[in-house]
């Protein structure tokens, strides 16, 4: 993997000290894999994986990454990690990320997603080595609307459920710290927030997520009960927003002009409803018998569309894989794992980079 990483993202990550919070999670573990391939010196700060199996454990990166199991709500522990490792770039992915769990545990959700972020910012204030922070929030931070052009970065934040609201608060906290503490002419810390759509890909076993639920049902040859079959989401392979985060970090390293909020989504082709995604995944692996869950469900937005014109225009970023390619790669990953124990993440990353190079994307040059 190291050899293929040459000339990616201007080599800004090669040899750089990078902290990833939430590295044991689904998206965080994929980011840790990519950063190691880029030659970064990676430190991870997270809780233990909350699924078995877990993508982090299967990757076997423990010998290559400084792996710390720390709760963001422990301010002193967070400070110790930053003091010890002196990161230069921080990718903040640690969170309580599940909508339905947030209904069951609103206090824990707000404590982690808001006060955990405050603790991280306070640690950053006393850590002079840090130059860049990319805070991954979510597309669900927006106050709901159904306009066909989707959500722009300038739209008001809101959030109906505790998860969405906590992440909207995280956006406000980020903006507050940027203006209050990191906006002076002598401040070297540059802060951006990244709002990504629904991610899919191999190695996700989280509860109450559509693709992991589909995979579990397919592996057991069981029918699947789905809720909100007509709900539209911006589905994208996990490597898509990660390429956006890495591109954003690269640009922030060079210029404070890239501070602020950014959307990373799949475009119109990836904005399909739950029932369509279920049917498409079935064509790539195993068709499933679907049942509609008729029980009362907590509120979730009916339509989520992201407008990514800003990232396309100013970061020269755009998606690499279509929804069909993303689903094929996802299905192949789980098929390989269930049939032979194969973990295809390195192969997926290599294929993604190859395809991005064929498209001539700037971050590959």
> Residue 3 — very low, low, confident or very high, per pLDDT cuts 50/70/90?
very low
295 pLDDT higher than 50? yes
pLDDT for the residue numbered 153: 96
Per-residue pLDDT, averaged over 6-30, amounts to 95
Calpha distance 138→142 (Å, rounded): 9
pLDDT of the residue at 183: 85
In the predicted model, is pLDDT for residue 289 greater than 80? no
Mean pLDDT of 44-60: 96
Instruction: Give the whole-number percent of the chain exceeding pLDDT 90.
Output: 72
Backbone angles phi, psi at 210, to 5 degrees: -60, -55
pLDDT value at position 296?
A: 57
For 185: left if phi > 0, alpha if psi spans -120 to 50, otherwise beta; the answer is alpha
Q: What is the mean pLDDT of the chain?
A: 91
pLDDT tens per residue across span 148-196 = 788 999 999 998 899 999 999 999 999 999 999 998 777 889 999 999 9
Q: What is the pLDDT of residue 29?
A: 98
Q: At what angle do helices 26-37 and 345-359 cross, to 10 degrees?
A: 70
pLDDT at 5: 47
DSSP SS3 for 106:
helix
More confident residue, 287 or 111: 111
- Confidence check: pLDDT of 312 > 50: yes
Domain boundaries, the chain: 15-294+303-364
Mean pLDDT across 306-327: 96
DSSP 8-class letter at 69: E
- Determine the Cα angle at 292 with ends 291 and 297, to 5°: 140
Q: Has residue 231 got a pLDDT over 90?
A: no
pTM of the model: 0.94
210, β-bridge pairs: none
> Region 321-344: what's the mean pLDDT?
94
Where does the pLDDT of residue 329 fall: very low under 50, low under 70, confident under 90, or very high at 90 and above?
Answer: very high
Pull the structure tokens for residue 254: 């060079």
Fold for the domain defined by 15-294+303-364: Rossmann fold (3.40.50)
Q: Which pLDDT value is given to residue 208?
A: 79
216 pLDDT band, cuts 50/70/90, is: confident
Average pLDDT score over residue span 95-105:
92
- What percentage of the chain reaches a pLDDT higher than 70? 93
């Amino acid at each position: 993997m190291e050899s293929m990483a040459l000339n990616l993202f201007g080599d800004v990550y090669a040899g750089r000290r990078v902290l990833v919070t939430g590295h044991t999670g689904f998206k965080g573990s994929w980011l840790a894999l990519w950063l190691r391939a880029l030659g970064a010196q990676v430190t991870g700060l997270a809780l233990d994986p909350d699924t078995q199996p877990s993508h982090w454990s299967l990757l076997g990166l423990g010998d290559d990454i400084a792996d710390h199991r720390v709760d963001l709500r422990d301010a002193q522990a967070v400070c110790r990690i930053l003091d010890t490792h002196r990161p230069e770039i921080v990718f903040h992915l640690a969170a309580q990320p599940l909508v339905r769990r947030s209904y069951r545990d609103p206090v824990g959700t707000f404590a982690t997603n808001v006060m955990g972020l405050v603790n991280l910012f306070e640690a950053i204030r006393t850590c002079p080595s840090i130059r860049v922070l990319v805070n991954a929030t979510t597309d669900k931070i927006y106050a709901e609307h159904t306009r066909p052009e989707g959500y722009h970065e300038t739209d008001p934040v809101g959030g109906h459920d505790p998860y969405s609201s906590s992440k909207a608060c995280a956006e406000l906290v980020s903006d507050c710290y940027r203006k209050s503490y990191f906006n002076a002419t002598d401040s070297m810390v540059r802060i951006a927030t990244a709002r990504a759509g629904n991610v899919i890909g191999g190695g996700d076993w989280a509860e109450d997520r559509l693709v992991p639920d589909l995979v579990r049902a397919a592996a057991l040859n069981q029918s699947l009960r789905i809720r909100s079959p007509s709900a539209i989401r911006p589905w994208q392979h996990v490597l898509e927003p990660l390429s956006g985060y890495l591109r954003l970090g690269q640009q922030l390293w060079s210029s404070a002009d890239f501070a602020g909020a950014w959307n990373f989504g799949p475009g119109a082709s990836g904005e399909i409803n739950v029932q369509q995604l279920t049917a498409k995944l079935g064509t790539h692996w195993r068709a499933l018998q679907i049942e509609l869950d008729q029980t009362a469900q907590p509120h979730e937005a009916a339509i989520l569309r992201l407008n990514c014109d800003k990232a396309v225009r100013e970061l020269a970023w755009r998606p690499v894989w279509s929804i069909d390619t993303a689903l094929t790669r996802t299905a192949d990953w789980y098929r390989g794992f269930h049939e032979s124990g194969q973990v295809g993440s390195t192969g997926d990353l290599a294929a993604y980079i190859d395809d991005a190079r064929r498209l001539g994307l700037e971050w590959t040059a």
